[in-house]
Amino acid sequence: MRHVAIVGSGPAGYYTAEALQKAGDIAIDVIDRLPVPYGLIRTGVAPDHQSIKAVSRRYEGVALTDNVRFVGHVAVGSDVTIDELTALYDAVVLATGAPNDRPLDIPGADLPGVIGSAAFVGWYNGHPDFAALNPPLDTAGVAVIGNGNVALDVARILAKTPQEFAGSDIVAHARAQLATSAVRHIHILGRRGPHQIAMTPKELGELAHLERASPRVDPADLPPEGDDALLEPGMRKSVTHLRSFAANPVAKPVTIDFDFFAMPVAIEGESKAQRVIVERTRLNDDLRSHGTGETYAIDAGLVVSCIGYQTPPIPGVPYEHGRGRFASDEGRILPGLYCVGWARRGPSGTIGTNKPDGARIAELVLDDVGRGAGKAGRPGLDALLASRGVAPVTFADWRRIEAAEVAAALDGNPREKFTSVEAMLEAIGR
């Protein structure tokens, strides 16, 4: 029997488990520090994007196969170390994602009211680490920094009416706070131009259909239309949306302004964020932005920085600091230790990108592990955790938590999530 531990139960973890379990004679433990599975699907994907979240049914199918086991509420690093796992299992695959924000390195970034997207997204998605965030929504102006899909998620969630959350699983504390929000002017700041965005067409197109908010683009920021022909088809569609926002300004009470060629250089305010100082930029020949020295200010009591994520380093595990991910040779970190998904590639691509990634890492693992080295595997982990008084949450336990969340849902919503580890454990009688 071969024994594999996968650390992290998000998309990369379950796609790797799915590919590995087809090998038959193999026992796979999927370990997560939370008592609930699915990582980014549960706490990253926007609550009003239920069709994307539906992929968790596929991971459930994997979790329910005989050779895959969910080991929840076990923190690697404190309940068990990486060294202990590599001693117990033939292979350990780090599928820990990239849950930390890339730091926004400008003066004033530490003022209250400046929030990283990991925290903001975690807040509206009910991640226990961020349930108490209480972002300042008593402000008319908000700056959302970055031109990726996370910036779009954040702007859209801030702009929606309570009715527009029908059918979503946005958590009660976010629903309540957003319902009384004073936010009226949202600026999405991109340090480069419309042809350099990292936003996908479907997500951009949604902004045109918001009840009380309208997207606005300054026509002067758009390159000549003929240049769009040089873009790949997805980008061309995205830029077509921007052109349509520029051509059809609609008056609605909430505005979502795309500020292109706009680089935040400082955040100012009396003991909290009140305004963002933005420097206008131009693009160099290599399409990088550089400042022009001309600045303007945006009133913003809330600044959400959506400039990408990092994988948290683990002591003793080689790490690429510049890229914010583990250092690996195509997924091989050290003998017996692998990484997959955002922990391997960095935070890029869609949920689906993790499927081929998981398949490739599974292949490497199976090649390296051969028939297995007779390691202790599951029983060894169970004995170690029991000796420390750690009782893992099983997949059957999770299904009871899930049933309680479904039972608590508002009419038409899929679930009302528990937002603390204590409440999750209480739901299974602990």
Scan for tokens 């920021």, then name that residue: 221
Distance between CA 280 and CA 259 in Å, rounded?
9
List residues near ligand NAP by CB under 6 A. Answer: 49, 145-151, 153, 190-192, 196, 198, 200, 203, 306-309, 347-350
CB of 16 to ligand NAP, least distance (A): 19
CB of 148 to ligand NAP, least distance (A): 2
In the complex with ligand NAP, which residue's Cβ is closer, 76 or 152? 152
Instruction: Please give the structure tokens belonging to residue 391.
Output: 């009782």
In the complex with ligand NAP, which residue's Cβ is closer, 3 or 187? 187
CB of 65 to ligand NAP, least distance (A): 28
Scan for tokens 């979503």, then name that residue: 168
Is residue 264 within a helix (H) or strand (E), and if so which, with residue range?
strand 262-268
CB of 310 to ligand NAP, least distance (A): 11
Distance between CA 102 and CA 127 in Å, rounded?
19
Instruction: Please give the structure tokens belonging to residue 301.
Output: 């009591």
CB of 151 to ligand NAP, least distance (A): 6
Chain-centroid distance, C-alpha 407: 26
The residue whose Cβ lies closest to ligand NAP is: 148
Residue 336 in contact with residue 92, Cβ under 8 Å? yes
In the complex with ligand NAP, which residue's Cβ is closer, 41 or 424? 41
List 70's β-bridge partners, or say none: 30
Extended beta strands in 51-121, E state = 68-71, 91-94, 100-101, 114-116
Distance between CA 329 and CA 95 in Å, rounded?
15
CB neighbourhood size of 189 (10 A): 26
In the complex with ligand NAP, which residue's Cβ is closer, 203 or 397? 203
Distance between CA 186 and CA 178 in Å, rounded?
14
CB of 204 to ligand NAP, least distance (A): 10
CB of 232 to ligand NAP, least distance (A): 14
In the complex with ligand NAP, which residue's Cβ is closer, 288 or 430? 288
CB of 86 to ligand NAP, least distance (A): 29
Helix (H, G, I), strand (E, B) or coil at 75: coil
DSSP 4-31: EEEE--SHHHHHHHHHHHTTSSEEEEEE
CB of 308 to ligand NAP, least distance (A): 4
Instruction: Please give the structure tokens belonging to residue 177.
Output: 């706070």
Phi and psi of 271, rounded to 5°? 60, 5
Which of the 8 DSSP states describes residue 214? E
Name which of 273, 305, 298 is nearest 136 in CA terms.
Answer: 273
Q: Cα 161–164–169 angle (5° rounding)?
A: 115
CB of 88 to ligand NAP, least distance (A): 33
In the complex with ligand NAP, which residue's Cβ is closer, 3 or 192? 192
Residue 194 in contact with residue 139, Cβ under 8 Å? no
In the complex with ligand NAP, which residue's Cβ is closer, 84 or 206? 206
In the complex with ligand NAP, which residue's Cβ is closer, 213 or 307? 307
CB of 97 to ligand NAP, least distance (A): 11
All residues at 6 or more sequence positions from 213 whose CB lies less than 8 Å from its CB, including other chains:
159, 160, 186, 207, 252, 253, 254, 255, 256
In the complex with ligand NAP, which residue's Cβ is closer, 309 or 418? 309
Helix (H, G, I), strand (E, B) or coil at 415: coil
In the complex with ligand NAP, which residue's Cβ is closer, 289 or 419? 289
Strand duo 309-310 + 302-305: pairing? unpaired
In the complex with ligand NAP, which residue's Cβ is closer, 324 or 331? 324
